[in-house]
């Protein structure tokens, strides 16, 4: 067993309802013959629900400390991160500007799901194409310049809040998980695998770093919902290195610590296959838990598909990190309705 490493959390603003519960999925566990728990990070709030608010606690503290009055961030049309940012900004009396990706900005998607909530929170939405999104740093800079020219004080939050600072949110989650696991019947005798969705990498970077800092000895498995394993090894590796440079005396993690389960992107980012939606439906009916189609639904489908092939592949105990995203389900209502 490795040693815990001394460190200090940066300051944060309390925004998330934490600690979140760890709940055993009894029927699902019976089905696969392994213990399956859900860490309910979908309970971190209502408007702020999901994983992003944990990162925002640290990021927005920094923004407020810098005197910001407006936050600028970006994401896909149904971005949970953008919705959480828009509402967290309101809680702090700030404005928000969201760069949202859509194939044709002339005809943006209907205000459903997260988009409806973004509008409700009075976020300024700027629709950009996927090609423009590739150059989002330039769009960030332009927006910031415009705001400064109007006398505002903008603060840029990179995609998904997936930065070294944002990673602290999931370092803190590992601290919670270690105490959750300590309360189980046989905490030490059973190895634990934590499974989560990977979209922009900051949740996984925090989990990997927290695992080392708290000597938790969990196996951390991230399921990519876009791009591929090589891409995320690089992205997450960069966030981890940046974190280590900024906050630690010496490195504690390398890319070898980043385990990505690839092969479940399916039709592509935010595009669902019937078997993924069926898995969401079946879990709702088995355990009364709702997943989202873009992140948790894909990660969950990956988990059960692997368990179907080999029930022992993740060891005797699994913690599935439910990172939220419920509002995204309403944007696939038609597809889902066919399966009900």
Ligand X SMILES: Cc1ncc(COP(=O)(O)O)c(C=O)c1O
Contacting residue, 113, 154, 158, 199, with ligand X by CB under 6 A: 199
Least distance (Å) between residue 118 CB and ligand X:
14
DSSP state of 215: T
Close Cβ partners of 54 (under 8 Å, ≥ 6 residues apart): 16, 18, 41, 44, 169, 170, 172, 173
CA distance 84 to 53: 6
> Is 79 a residue of the active site?
yes
Size of the site for ligand X (CB under 6 A): 20
Closest to ligand X by CB, 147 or 172: 172
CA distances from 282 to 190, 273, 287, 319, 323 (A): 28, 14, 8, 19, 19
- Which 159-178 positions form the footprint of ligand X (CB under 6 A)? 160, 162
Contact window for ligand X (CB under 6 A) among 13-21, 247-255, 263-271, 291-299: 291-299
CA distance 238 to 205: 9
Contact window for ligand X (CB under 6 A) among 92-100, 187-195, 196-204, 245-253: 196-204
- Which 201-230 positions form the footprint of ligand X (CB under 6 A)? 201-204
DSSP state of 257: G
CA distance 34 to 37: 10
Contacting residue, 87, 295, 301, 320, with ligand X by CB under 6 A: 295
Q: What count of residues does the chain have? A: 340
Least distance (Å) between residue 85 CB and ligand X:
11
Q: How far is CA 257 from the centre of its chain?
A: 19
Burial class (CB in 10 A: 0-12, 13-18, 19+), 22: middle
Question: Tokens 């600028």 appear where?
Answer: 72
Contact window for ligand X (CB under 6 A) among 93-101, 123-131, 263-271, 320-328: 320-328
Burial class (CB in 10 A: 0-12, 13-18, 19+), 30: exposed
- Which 59-98 positions form the footprint of ligand X (CB under 6 A)? 80-81
Decide: is 57 part of the binding site for ligand X (CB under 6 A). Answer: no
Closest to ligand X by CB, 216 or 258: 258
Closest to ligand X by CB, 78 or 143: 78
Least distance (Å) between residue 323 CB and ligand X:
3
Least distance (Å) between residue 293 CB and ligand X:
10
Decide: is 50 part of the binding site for ligand X (CB under 6 A). Answer: yes
Closest to ligand X by CB, 237 or 325: 325
Residue 138: what are its φ and ψ, rounded to 5°? Answer: -70, -40
- Residue of 79, 167, 205, 331 marked catalytic: 79
CB 117 within 8 A of CB 47: yes
237 is written with which tokens?
A: 């590796």
Contact window for ligand X (CB under 6 A) among 16-24, 90-98, 139-147, 321-329: 321-329
Residues lying near ligand X in the complex (CB under 6 A) = 50-51, 80-81, 160, 162, 197-204, 292, 295-296, 323-325
Active site residues: 79
């Amino acid at each position: 067993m490795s040693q815990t490493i001394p460190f200090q959390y940066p300051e944060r603003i309390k925004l998330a309802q934490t600690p979140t519960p760890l709940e055993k999925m009894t029927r699902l566990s019976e089905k696969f013959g392994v213990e399956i728990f859900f860490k309910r990070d979908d309970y971190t709030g209502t408007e702020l629900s999901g994983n992003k608010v944990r990162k925002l606690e640290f990021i927005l503290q920094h923004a407020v400390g810098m005197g910001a009055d407006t936050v600028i961030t970006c994401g896909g049309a149904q971005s949970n991160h953008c919705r959480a940012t828009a509402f967290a900004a309101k809680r702090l009396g700030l404005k928000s500007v969201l760069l949202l990706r859509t194939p044709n900005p002339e005809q943006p998607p209907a205000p459903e799901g997260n988009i409806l909530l973004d509008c409700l929170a009075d976020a300024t939405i700027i629709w950009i194409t996927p090609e423009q999104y590739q150059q989002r740093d330039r769009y960030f800079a332009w927006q910031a310049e415009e705001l400064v020219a109007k006398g505002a004080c903008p603060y840029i939050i990179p995609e998904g809040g997936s930065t070294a600072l944002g990673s602290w949110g999931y370092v803190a989650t590992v601290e919670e998980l270690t105490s959750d696991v300590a309360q189980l019947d046989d905490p030490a005798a059973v190895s634990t695998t934590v499974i989560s969705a990977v979209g922009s990498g900051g949740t996984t970077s925090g989990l990997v770093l927290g695992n080392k800092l708290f000597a938790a000895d969990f196996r951390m498995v991230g399921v990519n919902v876009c791009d591929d394993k090589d891409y995320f090894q690089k992205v997450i590796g960069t966030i981890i290195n940046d974190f280590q440079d900024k906050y630690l005396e010496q490195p504690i993690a390398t890319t070898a610590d980043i385990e990505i389960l690839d092969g479940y992107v399916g039709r592509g980012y935010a595009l669902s296959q019937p078997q993924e939606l069926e898995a969401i439906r079946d879990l709702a009916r088995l355990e009364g838990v709702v997943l989202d189609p873009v992140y948790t639904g894909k990660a969950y489908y990956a988990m059960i598909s692997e368990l179907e092939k080999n029930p022992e592949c993740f060891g005797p105990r699994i913690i599935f990190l439910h990172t939220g995203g419920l509002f995204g389900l309403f944007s696939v209502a038609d597809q889902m309705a066919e399966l009900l």
